[in-house]
Chains A and B, each alone.
Chain A
Amino acid sequence: MGRMMPEGIQVDVVGLTKMFGTFKAVDDLTFSVQPGMVTGFLGPNGAGKTTTLRCLLGLITPTAGTTTIGGRAYRDLADPIGTVGAALEAASFHPGRSARAHLEVMALGAGLDPAVAGDKLAQVGLSEVGDKRVSGFSLGMRQRLGLAAALLGDPRVLILDEPANGLDPAGIVWLRSFLRALAAEGRTILVSSHVLSEVQQTVDDVVVLSRGRLVNQGKLADLDSGPRGVLVRTPEPEKLRDALAGEALSTEGEAEDGRIRVVGGTPEQVGHAAFVHGVELHELVAEASDLEKTFLLMTEGAVDSVPVADLGGATTS
């Protein structure tokens, strides 16, 4: 590849609906993914993320709507894995086959030199175990192998389903810099996750899904636009409320841990008001970034709205 950057490829999902029997897994979903950045595809388990990705990759036939990569359906791509690299759930390896052989099988099928398998194993840090059978691999190693498979054809578009699942903290940091570097090369990267914090520091744009419907698309930063509050703990809540009322600050009842949430002011203003009115305070803190909460509120009532760390099993939704 020369120094000139190849053209970026846009991914489009338009009016996508997928029914499984009477269950609507994806409901009239429309969004697009831009090149040169990492887009997070977020939603709780069961929101329809995997179904959408599998429609994009021609593995599932939509009930209605279209999915295109650079304007073409996956099955019409001239060079499928040279255009789109995909890593779906970490389970799709034959346990008796070595990591290298798995990549060689794909490379040969795509008409590539099977020697690329070695390069990609090195790229994801699996060189030393390349000739070992996949049955002995941890979930984290399988994730890396899946990523190597996705990178096999040096594609301009990467579609990764829950790639952080099963990675240790160091692995997540590695994945983050890896994806940022790929995006910086002008690639289009779509990464799904049911845990916002996993991808929070990786993604630029987000597409948020709940019960098969789009609930938000835009900059990650815009998700966090809600007013930030101040949390206060006091043995004299009534006195504090009166004091704050005098300073035109309002309280929003008690948080579940006995703290009072104050909106419309800074910790300095709240502390000052308490001091002036002689209210005893035990805790005074600015509310932390509310992204996770916003995310939960946004996807509230979904099939499984409490994100739980996956313990080994592949996540399908």
Chain B
Amino acid sequence: MSNTSVTALVRSEFKKISSTRLWWGLLVGAVVFTAFQAGFTTAFAGVDPGAGQPTSPGLDTDEAIRSAYGFAAFSGTYIFALILGITGVTGEYRYQTITPTFLVSPRRSRVITAKMLAHLVMGVVYGVVGLVTALAVSGIVIKIRGFDLGYGTEGLWTSMALAVLAIAIWTLLGIGIGTLIRNQIVAILVAIFITFLIEPLASFGLSAADLDTVANFLPTTASSALIEPANTFVDYLDWWAGGLVLMGYALVLAGLGLLLNIRRDVS
């Protein structure tokens, strides 16, 4: 038997996830939030909001259909996938289970690698569940409003598959953040603060300064690039480049975290 294989460690990670209730609690949250996103998007698509606000594309456009399925699934689910990833690392420090984990595998980088692989799979599961939720809720609302379900919409299936991939990569981002910031509360707060406050502000500021090219490399914008390859209104990165940028964030964060923590005392 050699010094614990990554395959065995991945099995161990799946057991860790499945043996507590957090993963499905977060999944329930993702379903509820996605249902809300999908319902809201489809209910108000093409409806004049009044007060001189621009009207979003109607449900008879490709744009609105893609948004009702793929994008609603992503925007309702990714934050829960992110938190699952973060707690996948920080929960071990919080409950001190990191001690038995490192006793089983004293090679710490293998533990993080195994966590990434297992959580990537969990991220795909979250993505699929989010997508099914969006398909169901949006489908119902679209039917109620008397529009066509639009399954033949150009680029729809690609956009949905890429939404699942984007959600999965956000789980990896969570592992990266958790590896770097070992305190659970701090890690989650920092992640949410950056995603919901700093990034939109940065994006706004960069656009105002005509630096859209730079803004394209922000995580959420890169996600949009990944999900909406057929978007003709915004000049995002290519979808694959957006995916690589997201992966890059996850790997750099995890790498940095490992670099700082690989020798750090666990007591």
Which A residues have a C-beta under 8 Å from some C-beta of B?
50-51, 54, 57-61, 74-82, 86, 88-89, 91-98, 101-102, 104-106, 108-111, 114, 149, 316
Interface residues of B in 1-34 (CB under 8 A from A): 1-5, 8-9, 11-12, 15-16, 19-22
- A109 B101 Cβ-Cβ under 8 A: yes
- A59 B266 Cβ-Cβ under 8 A: yes
Q: Give chain A nearest CB distance to B120 CB in angstroms.
A: 18
Which B residues have a C-beta under 8 Å from some C-beta of A?
1-5, 8-9, 11-12, 15-16, 19-22, 91, 95-107, 263, 265-267
Instruction: Give how many A-B residue pairs fall within 8 Å (CB-CB).
Output: 103
Cβ–Cβ < 8 Å partners of A111 in chain B: 1, 4-5, 8
- A98 B19 Cβ-Cβ under 8 A: yes
Cβ–Cβ < 8 Å partners of B9 in chain A: 109
Query: How many angstroms between the C-alpha atoms of A316 and B4 in the bound complex?
Result: 28
- A106 B91 Cβ-Cβ under 8 A: no
Q: Give chain B nearest CB distance to A215 CB in angstroms.
A: 23
Chain B residue at minimum C-beta to C-beta distance from A96:
B20
Cβ–Cβ < 8 Å partners of A81 in chain B: 103-104
- A108 B15 Cβ-Cβ under 8 A: yes
> Which of B1, B19, B102, B263 is close to A97, meaning CB atoms less than 8 Å apart?
B19
- B15 A54 Cβ-Cβ under 8 A: no
> Which of B11, B21, B107 is close to A108, meaning CB atoms less than 8 Å apart?
B11
Query: How many angstroms between the C-alpha atoms of A114 and B104 in the bound complex?
Result: 14
Query: How many angstroms between the C-alpha atoms of A76 and B8 in the bound complex?
Result: 18
Q: Give chain A nearest CB distance to B75 CB in angstroms.
A: 29
- A109 B97 Cβ-Cβ under 8 A: no
- B100 A108 Cβ-Cβ under 8 A: no
- A92 B15 Cβ-Cβ under 8 A: no
Query: How many angstroms between the C-alpha atoms of A80 and B107 in the bound complex?
Result: 10
Other A-B contacts than A51-B267, A86-B103, 17 sampled, CB-CB below 8 A, are A50-B267, A54-B267, A60-B265, A75-B106, A77-B3, A77-B106, A78-B3, A88-B99, A94-B19, A98-B19, A102-B97, A105-B15, A106-B12, A110-B4, A110-B104, A111-B1, A111-B4
Query: How many angstroms between the C-alpha atoms of A59 and B21 in the bound complex?
Result: 28
Known contacts A104-B19, A105-B16, A105-B19; A75 and B96 CB within 8 A of each other: no
Cβ–Cβ < 8 Å partners of A88 in chain B: 99
Q: Which 4 A-B pairs have the closest CB atoms?
A: A109-B12, A101-B19, A75-B106, A92-B96
Q: List 13 A-B contacts (CB under 8 A).
A: A54-B266, A58-B106, A79-B2, A86-B103, A89-B96, A91-B96, A92-B98, A93-B97, A94-B20, A104-B15, A104-B19, A105-B12, A109-B104
- B100 A92 Cβ-Cβ under 8 A: yes
Query: How many angstroms between the C-alpha atoms of A77 and B107 in the bound complex?
Result: 10
- B95 A93 Cβ-Cβ under 8 A: yes
Cβ–Cβ < 8 Å partners of A61 in chain B: 263, 265
- B1 A79 Cβ-Cβ under 8 A: yes
Cβ–Cβ < 8 Å partners of B106 in chain A: 58, 74-75, 77, 80
Q: Give chain B nearest CB distance to A51 CB in angstroms.
A: 7
Q: Give chain B nearest CB distance to A96 CB in angstroms.
A: 4
Q: Give chain B nearest CB distance to A43 CB in angstroms.
A: 17
Cβ–Cβ < 8 Å partners of A102 in chain B: 19, 97, 100
Cβ–Cβ < 8 Å partners of A149 in chain B: 100
Q: Give chain A nearest CB distance to B119 CB in angstroms.
A: 15
Cβ–Cβ < 8 Å partners of B21 in chain A: 96
Query: How many angstroms between the C-alpha atoms of A51 and B265 in the bound complex?
Result: 10
- A106 B100 Cβ-Cβ under 8 A: yes
Cβ–Cβ < 8 Å partners of A51 in chain B: 267
Cβ–Cβ < 8 Å partners of A316 in chain B: 267
Q: Which of B9, B15, B104 has the most CB of A within 10 A?
A: B104
- B15 A80 Cβ-Cβ under 8 A: no
Cβ–Cβ < 8 Å partners of A101 in chain B: 15, 19
Query: How many angstroms between the C-alpha atoms of A80 and B5 in the bound complex?
Result: 12
Q: Give chain B nearest CB distance to A128 CB in angstroms.
A: 19
Q: Which of A94, A101, A102, A109 has the most CB of B within 10 A?
A: A109
Query: How many angstroms between the C-alpha atoms of A110 and B107 in the bound complex?
Result: 12
Query: How many angstroms between the C-alpha atoms of A32 and B16 in the bound complex?
Result: 36
